Structure 1
Amino acid sequence: MLLLPLPLAAEDLPPASVEAQVDRTEITIGDPIHYRLEIEYANGVEVKKPAWNEGLESFQILDFERGEPTKTGERWRVVDDYTLSTFTPEDYVIPPIRVPVQLPSGATEVLETQPIEIKVKSILPEDESALELRDIKPPISVFSGILTGRVIGAAFAALAIAGLLYALWRRRHRGETPIALVPPRPEHEVALARIAALRAALAELDYAPDQGECKVYGIELSAILREYLELRFSILALEATTDEIREMLPTLFLPPPPLARDPERRGCEARILVILEETDLLKFAKRTLPLERLHHLLELAEAVIDATRREEAVGSESTEEREREVA
């Protein structure tokens, strides 16, 4: 007689559990890894999910799908799926992911996943001394004989004709008033103009934007703020990650934060991080936001730019006035 194990009853299961798993633990550089974080909990249990990229800082997140809680019987289940990769061959460890939970009794616990070891191999052999370099091939003769002389003659003729045309052009335009160059627009004017265009695009929407529209918005607003920071403070913000910009901000002498508990009102540094973190979720995590929140992020960006713009000399003219004078 074959005895099959009976499934555990709901009352025999723990109040909450968390599990992390990957589809493989050994890859070659550039290969994708499918990583899954699964949380299961009973009715009445409150779960605080970790940050969307927690423990994955050493990998490139190629794709991310945040799952919504689904109910089966008396228990809830939520699954987040990731596609990861890296181009650095070494041994990695995805550390334990901590998930705080609060039980119906009010007691709190912290669940942890098991660490996951991943080996990333190079495409080169381990013994690189066995590699041999081949000699380069000899140059290929393209032209020879009479053909070479014709090509050289044609080249000199073309140069002579170009020189003659340039001399005629200089004689015809001699004595004309040179064109005055307009100084480039200050970076804060460019950024504010792009924000105004983005706000106008939002104003045309009479419905909640979908994931694709929110992604385009996140890409544009992130680029506006990063380009402004790069030009204003001479930092490499366009290619930097949000965490790298977080480390740069204390060195930029931003205006000090006022006394307030709201993180969005604690000065420019906090506003910048709020914008970058939320636009990262729109760009990489397929997240959506209501129109009110999208407009609020534009207001935060304008506040940052207005507080950190370069001090202009008293009585200086705006770019538009200079352009009108030149015209």
Structure 2
Amino acid sequence: MRKHCILILGIWTLLLALTWAQTENPSLIEVKAQVDTATITIGDHILYSIIIDRQKDVRIIEPGQGINLGMFEIKDYKFHEPVKKGDHLIQRYDYVISVYDTGKFTIPPYPLAYFPSDSSTKPAIIEAPAIDIYVKSVLKGEEAPELKDIKPPLDIPFNYRFWGMVAAAVLILGILLYLAYRLWKRKQEKGYVFTPPPPAPPAHEVALNALQELFASDLLEREQFKEFFSRLSEILRAYLEGRYFIAALEETTTEIMQEIQAHLADESLRKQLQEILTMSDLIKFARYIPAKEEIERLKELSVDFVQKTKIIYEAEPDHKEVAVTTDNPEQAQRT
């Protein structure tokens, strides 16, 4: 009997210790997303809420009035005052949204930037989960349109004028098709229709010119950080498409970094690219305001990345071939 009592007392003490440890080490921050309904008809309103539960000393970049909600249109919004709960603050951001099409739609995950402590200089990211919404048509049951009987066929008299116009149109179309065929045949034989097109400029020249034009703009002076880094990210993604032939303009940063491993062997250059794209996403979607030093660093990294990964054309001694030197020796080609 005494052994049983000691065992029960030990288990009870262990449970108290685990409970005390959980209360003494709460999570820094938690982000939730919720809707009042997941099934609506076209035009109905949905109350979408982002709820942030954080410790008082954790700083956040709060959601704005125009956050990205995919296909959904924001009709109204309301930001509630923070509610204190122990050493935590609970903040709620409500958005009234709607969509004008039927089918399944997804409210994308919202990336929240936060600083774990007052001494933190770079934010961390935590995401509110995505939510699926199903939109139904308002026409159903008794409201469906009534089907009427088919009317009997009508006798249509022969229209000489109409058929004459049809014959003329067919003749003109035939002539145009013949001319188009001759032009196509000429292009197949000579490679061009009228005059040979000028060669397209290399991808790195296009990227460097675009970067210089962007740096010379007044976007940073007007503190248009989102527009500046959206354009910077677009220039680098277009360069990746022209340089490595990947669909970078249609991919997320994560997808680009996964695909670029097969083309870019230098790990330091991959980390350099990831830093540029990740910080650009943070500024575009999380309303992060970079310091002047960060802006200058990202500008330098962008130019440096293009310079170090560009294709260099070198004439061989016999001047008959051109050697193409890339950042990856395995991809060297001759044209």
Q: TM-score range by the shorter chain?
A: 0.5 to 0.7
38, 44, 60: which one aligns with 1:26: 38
Superposed CA deviations along residues 172-215 of structure 1, whole A, max 9, x for unmatched, are: xxxxxx7453211010110011001011114x86x4x43xx212
SS at 1:252 equivalent: coil
CA displacement at 1:38 relative to structure 2: 2.5
- Aligned residues: CA RMSD: 5.8
Confirm or deny that 1:191 pairs with 2:207. Answer: yes
* Pairing of 1:94-109 with structure 2 (within 5 A): none
Q: Match for 1:185: what amino acid?
A: P
> What is the distance in 1 between the residues matched to 2:249 and 2:152?
44
> What is the distance in 2 between the residues matched to 1:222 and 1:235?
15
196, 214, 221: which one aligns with 2:225: 214
> What is the distance in 2 between the residues matched to 1:47 and 1:220?
31
52, 59, 75: which one aligns with 1:38: 52
Confirm or deny that 1:123 pairs with 2:136. Answer: yes
> What is the distance in 2 between the residues matched to 1:84 and 1:248?
35
236, 247, 262: which one aligns with 1:236: 247
Confirm or deny that 1:293 pairs with 2:294. Answer: yes
* Pairing of 1:225-264 with structure 2 (within 5 A): 225-256=236-267
CA displacement at 1:240 relative to structure 2: 0.6
Q: For residue 11 of structure 2, what is the aligned residue in structure 1?
A: none
SS at 2:136 equivalent: coil
Superposed CA deviations along residues 227-255 of structure 1, whole A, max 9, x for unmatched, are: 11112111111011112113223222332
144, 152, 176: which one aligns with 2:166: 152
Q: Is 1:219–1:283's contact at 8 Å kept on the other side of the alignment?
A: yes
Unaligned runs of 5+ in 2: 1-25, 64-68, 118-125, 139-143, 181-193, 317-321, 324-335
Superposed CA deviations along residues 144-190 of structure 1, whole A, max 9, x for unmatched, are: 61232331354367569989x99xxxxxxxxxxx7453211010110
Q: Provide the TM-score with structure 1 as the length reference.
A: 0.53
Cα gap change, 1:183 to 1:21, in 2 (>3 Å): closer
SS at 1:195 equivalent: helix
Unaligned runs of 5+ in 1: 1-13, 53-58, 103-111, 126-130, 167-177, 257-266, 318-327
Cα gap change, 1:218 to 1:85, in 2 (>3 Å): farther
Q: How many residues align?
A: 251
Cα gap change, 1:162 to 1:250, in 2 (>3 Å): closer
SS at 1:312 equivalent: strand
Q: Match for 1:288: what amino acid?
A: I
SS at 1:313 equivalent: strand
Percent identity among equivalent residues? 23
> What is the distance in 1 between the residues matched to 2:311 and 2:115?
45
Cα gap change, 1:84 to 1:232, in 2 (>3 Å): farther
Q: Provide the TM-score with structure 2 as the length reference.
A: 0.52
Q: Match for 2:259: what amino acid?
A: M
SS at 1:37 equivalent: strand
> What is the distance in 2 between the residues matched to 1:151 and 1:158?
11
Q: Is 1:268–1:304's contact at 8 Å kept on the other side of the alignment?
A: yes
Cα gap change, 1:17 to 1:160, in 2 (>3 Å): closer
Cα gap change, 1:84 to 1:214, in 2 (>3 Å): farther
Cα gap change, 1:244 to 1:147, in 2 (>3 Å): same
Cα gap change, 1:155 to 1:21, in 2 (>3 Å): closer
Q: Is 2:61–2:286's contact at 8 Å kept on the other side of the alignment?
A: no
SS at 2:48 equivalent: strand
Q: Match for 1:123: what amino acid?
A: K
> What is the distance in 1 between the residues matched to 2:226 and 2:156?
51
Cα gap change, 1:223 to 1:138, in 2 (>3 Å): farther
Confirm or deny that 1:273 pairs with 2:274. Answer: yes
> What is the distance in 2 between the residues matched to 1:23 and 1:272?
37
Q: For residue 331 of structure 2, what is the aligned residue in structure 1?
A: none
SS at 1:251 equivalent: coil
Cα gap change, 1:75 to 1:278, in 2 (>3 Å): same
